[in-house]
Chains A and B, each alone.
Chain A
Amino acid sequence: MLTTIQIVLLIFIIFAISRVYLRAKEKVFSTKTAIFWYFVWLAGLIGVLLPKTTTKLAGFFGVGRGVDVIVYVALALLFYLVFRVYVMIEDIRHEITYLIRDIALKNSSKAKQRPKKSK
C-alpha cells in the first residue's frame, strides 16, 4: 500500500519523465542529456517505490538514513547543475557580445576629415 507522499512523488516523477520525453522528441536537448534525466528520474522512482533501497544505499555510504543520502546526493547534483548553467549563461553572454561587436565594427563612423586648406 503506497503512502500519500509516495503517490504525490510518483505523480510528479511520471510528469517529469513525460516532460523529458517530449523535450527529447522536440530535440530541445541531446539524447545524452535525455538519458541523463531519465536516469535521474528513474533513480527517484526506485527510491519512492522501494524506500528500503535507499536505506541499503545509506548503509553502503556509512550514512544514518536513506533520506539523508538522497539529500546529500541531490545537493551535490544541484550545485553542479547550477555551475553548469552559470557556465552556459556566460557562454551565451560571450556570443551576444561577439554579435554586438561585429555589428558595431561594421557600422563604425569615422571622424570628419578636416578640410584641406586651399593654396
Chain B
Amino acid sequence: MKAQIIVPAFNESQIIFKVLTSLPKKLKGISVIETILVNDGSQDDTLKQAKKANVQTVSHAINRGLGAAIKTGLELAKKKSADIAITFDGDGQHDPADIAKIVEPIIKKKADLVIGSRFKKLQNVPIDRLILNWFANLATLMMFGVISTDSQSGLRAFSKKALNLIDFKGERMDFSSEILLEAKKHNLIIAEVPIKAIYTPYSRTKGQKNLNSLAVFGRFLVKVFR
C-alpha cells in the first residue's frame, strides 16, 4: 500500500523542518510513504525548510486557506495513485506516532475515513478550544446529521475510495465539516480514533482564531443556503 502524508503549511518556517523530519518513514502495512508539503503562499522560509527536509513540495502562489491547501494535497495524492492519504498539520499540533493509529482502520478495511479525535480521551485541552469544537460538532450534527467528537480535527486518513469520492469546496476552516458531509453523502464508513492534542504557545498563535469562528460559520451557512 502506498501512503501520502499531506502537510499544509502557511508561514511555518520556525517549526516545519522539525515537523517534516519527525514524520514516520515506515508504517506497518504500508510499503511506500511519501510526504507532500503544500506551501500555501508562505512569505517566509517555509519552502526552503521543506526542501531541506527533502520532501515533495507544491506551492500556491498566494494564500488560499487551509481547505484549499488540503484539497491541493489530496489532488496530488490522487494523481500519484495513493492508497491512503493522511492530512497532518504543519504547526506541530499533532504527534507523528498517531499516524499509525489513524491508518490502521483503513489498512484493515474497517473504515474509509478516519478522524483523529482530540476529545475521545480526556486530556489537557484549552477551554476555548473545547467550547468552540463543541459548537462546531453541534453545527455539524444539526446541519449534516453527522455525529463527531472532533469535526475540526486536522489529522485524518482517507482510503483510496474516500480520496476519489470526497469533493469539498470549502477553502478555509469551513472545509472540515464538509468532509464529513461528503463522507456521509457517499455512504463511506467513518471511524474516529483518539489522538494526542499538542498545544504550545506557537501552535496557539497559528491555529484558528476564536473570533474567526463566526465568519467560518457564516460562510458555511451561505454555502448551505445559496
Report A's interface with B, CB cutoff 8 A. 83, 86-87, 90, 93-94, 96-97, 100-101, 103-105, 107-112
Indicate if B109 sits at the interface (CB-CB under 8 A): no
Closest Cβ of chain A to B169, distance in Å, is 6
Closest Cβ of chain A to B22, distance in Å, is 16
Q: Determine if A105 and B64 form an interchain contact, defined as CB atoms under 8 angstroms apart.
A: no
Indicate if B75 sits at the interface (CB-CB under 8 A): yes
Task: Say yes or no: A104-B222 contact (C-beta < 8 A), given A94-B169, A97-B171, A111-B56.
Answer: no
Complex formed: what's the CA distance from A45 to B28 in Å? 75
Closest CB pairs A-B (n = 9): A108-B58, A97-B64, A97-B68, A111-B56, A101-B72, A100-B60, A104-B58, A111-B54, A87-B226
- Contacts between chains A and B (CB distance < 8 A), count: 57
Report B's interface with A, CB cutoff 8 A. 34-36, 38, 51, 54-62, 64-65, 68, 71-72, 75-76, 79, 169, 171, 219, 222-223, 226
Closest Cβ of chain A to B77, distance in Å, is 11
Closest Cβ of chain A to B175, distance in Å, is 11
Residues from chain A with Cβ under 8 Å of B36 in the complex: 108
Complex formed: what's the CA distance from A18 to B68 in Å? 42
Residues from chain B with Cβ under 8 Å of A108 in the complex: 36, 56-59, 76
Residues from chain B with Cβ under 8 Å of A93 in the complex: 171
Supply 14 further A-B pairs (C-beta < 8 A) apart from A93-B171, A97-B64, A110-B56: A90-B222, A90-B223, A100-B62, A100-B68, A101-B68, A105-B72, A105-B79, A107-B59, A108-B56, A108-B58, A108-B59, A111-B34, A111-B54, A111-B55
Q: Determine if A104 and B60 form an interchain contact, defined as CB atoms under 8 angstroms apart.
A: yes
Closest Cβ of chain B to A91, distance in Å, is 9
Task: Say yes or no: A103-B171 contact (C-beta < 8 A), given A86-B222, A90-B222, A108-B56.
Answer: no
Residues from chain A with Cβ under 8 Å of B60 in the complex: 100-101, 104
Q: Determine if B56 and A87 form an interchain contact, defined as CB atoms under 8 angstroms apart.
A: no
Task: Say yes or no: A103-B64 contact (C-beta < 8 A), given A87-B222, A87-B226, A97-B171.
Answer: no
